Amino acid sequence: MDKFLKRIKNNIQRKPFFQGIDDHIPEEAGGFVDSSVMPMNSPTRSSPHSQNSESVERFSRKVFVGGLPPDIDEDEITSSFRRFGPLVVDWPHKAESKSYFPPKGYAFLLFQDESSVQQLIEACITDEDKLYLCVSSPTIKDKPVQIRPWRLSDADFVLNASMPLDPRKTVFVGGVPRPLKAFELAMIMDRLYGGVCYAGIDTDPELKYPKGAGRVAFANQQSYIAAISARFVQLQHGDIDKRVEVKPYVLDDQMCDECQGQLCGGKFAPFFCANVTCLQYYCEQCWATIHSKTGREYHKPLVKEGADRPRAVPFRWC
């Protein structure tokens, strides 16, 4: 089981996936860790805390806080949580909006140390599985705000470990709501299409927080085709009810399925055709040949983009 999980993780980390639908992710979902919205600079990443705490790290250092008092500003949020350790307060489009207040009453706390998150959780009160902490603003005293930490183990879920994980039976799910766990994604997709063997929530390498996308691997071709043919899927779980996009998971190290590299100097195939009559990787030449045939002229290639571009996110802790 451990070995299997490790293989899945290696496979997924090594293989960049198609990211072209990231644009559809609404800001409510949490926004990306984007250097443009983070006020920072400093070499904190080289600090030893990450090595020391590796074995006991259980949560993302990024924590969602919702239901904030409307008149609480960034400095007041920072000082409300500063007792747990150094942190930066962020929210989507913070830099552009030039607002001192989180516009929708929620923000993200980016802690320097994972242990701060554990301390924060311990200080919370629990109500119906939700965590709350009281926070004060200039006009509102002791308002309970919701604290939503992300548990690292919720990023992967194996439903059927006896099936090999086939990247060619794996779909990319874009616009996944942030609180959705891999387990929940697996259950929803299994209910809709059957045959799910694995689901994963994509997290950013820096904070290990969900990026708003996921992957689901199926055990059989029919389920895979049913999922990509639907193109959109309604994710319903608890408070969540959202239509998200489903696409084949595109790999960047596949040979052309037509010529096996014969016509393209053995290079990896740049195109994938997601039409169910094709479902193949093609080099440029084979793409042109196959898609000049009647009925296939309108197929559109999927191209994996960007891959795992290293994202430099230097922080300044306060």
The CA-atom distances, in angstroms, between 29 and each of 33, 92, 174 are 12, 9, 11
* Residue at token pair 């009647």: 294
CB of 19 to Zn ion, least distance (A): 21
Is residue 258 close enough to count as binding Zn ion by CB under 5 A? yes
CB of 280 to Zn ion, least distance (A): 7
CB of 18 to Zn ion, least distance (A): 16
CB of 23 to Zn ion, least distance (A): 24
Q: Which is nearer to Zn ion, 247 or 299 (CB)?
A: 299
Is residue 5 close enough to count as binding Zn ion by CB under 5 A? no
CB of 296 to Zn ion, least distance (A): 5
Q: Which is nearer to Zn ion, 245 or 258 (CB)?
A: 258
Given a contact cutoff of 8 angstroms between Cβ atoms, the answer to whether 113 and 53 are in contact is yes
The token pair that represents 24 in the structure block: 């559809």
Q: Which is nearer to Zn ion, 236 or 275 (CB)?
A: 275
Whole-angstrom distance, CA of residue 93 vs CA of residue 96: 5
Is residue 256 close enough to count as binding Zn ion by CB under 5 A? yes
Whole-angstrom distance, CA of residue 132 vs CA of residue 231: 37
In 48-135, the DSSP E strands lie at: 62-66, 87-90, 107-111, 125-127, 130-135
Q: Which is nearer to Zn ion, 6 or 231 (CB)?
A: 231
Binds Zn ion (CB under 5 A): choice among 154, 299, 302, 304: 299
CB of 229 to Zn ion, least distance (A): 14
Instruction: Count the site residues for Zn ion by CB under 5 A.
Output: 10
Is residue 278 close enough to count as binding Zn ion by CB under 5 A? yes
In the chain, the DSSP E strands lie at: 62-66, 87-90, 107-111, 125-127, 130-135, 143-148, 156-158, 170-174, 196-203, 210-218, 232-237, 240-248, 271-273, 280-282, 301-302
Whole-angstrom distance, CA of residue 40 vs CA of residue 50: 19
CB of 22 to Zn ion, least distance (A): 24
Is residue 50 close enough to count as binding Zn ion by CB under 5 A? no
Q: Which helix (H) or strand (E) holds 225?
A: helix 221-230
The token pair that represents 190 in the structure block: 């299994």
Binds Zn ion (CB under 5 A): choice among 169, 273, 302, 304: 273
Whole-angstrom distance, CA of residue 168 vs CA of residue 186: 17
String marking each residue 74-93 x if it binds Zn ion according to CB under 5 A: --------------------
Interface residues with Zn ion (CB under 5 A) are 256, 258-259, 263, 273, 275, 278, 283, 286, 299
